[in-house]
Amino acid sequence: MATLVREGDTLWLKLSTAEKFEGVHGDLHAPVASVVAATTLDDAIHAVHGMKLPGSQLPGVFAMGTFLDSDGRTFAIVHHHPAGGVRVTFRGGSSYTQWIVSADDPAAVVASLGF
């Protein structure tokens, strides 16, 4: 399962080998200074919107890859189980407006990031 990790001044989204294949992307990183917020989601799969660009999706089951909508670009690694997840929102410094990631314990992930 993908993990969000803060290492110094950098936030990393580290993907498993399967997630890299399904999301058509490697690990992502962004400067901590570009993070606006990290929030929990009760229903991560339904937080992913827009046109799927490179990646894989089965609506309501999983969404992995890049999605484009009127708010910008989202990178998602979301599985139906667990239902919860984390949304990290950016202001510049990243090629994405947000990352949406499944998490077993979203509150613990957000707390570990220190935002």
Please list the pLDDT of the chain residue by residue as tens digits (115 residues).
899 999 999 999 999 999 999 999 999 999 999 999 999 999 999 999 999 999 999 988 999 999 999 989 999 999 888 899 999 999 987 899 999 999 999 999 999 999 8
Locate 61 and state its tokens. Answer: 């089951």
pLDDT at 37: 96
Contact between 62 and 103 under an 8 Å Cβ cutoff? The reply is no
pLDDT at 81: 85
pTM of this prediction?
0.95
User: What phi-psi label fits residue 60: left (phi over 0), alpha (psi between -120 and 50 degrees) or beta?
Assistant: left
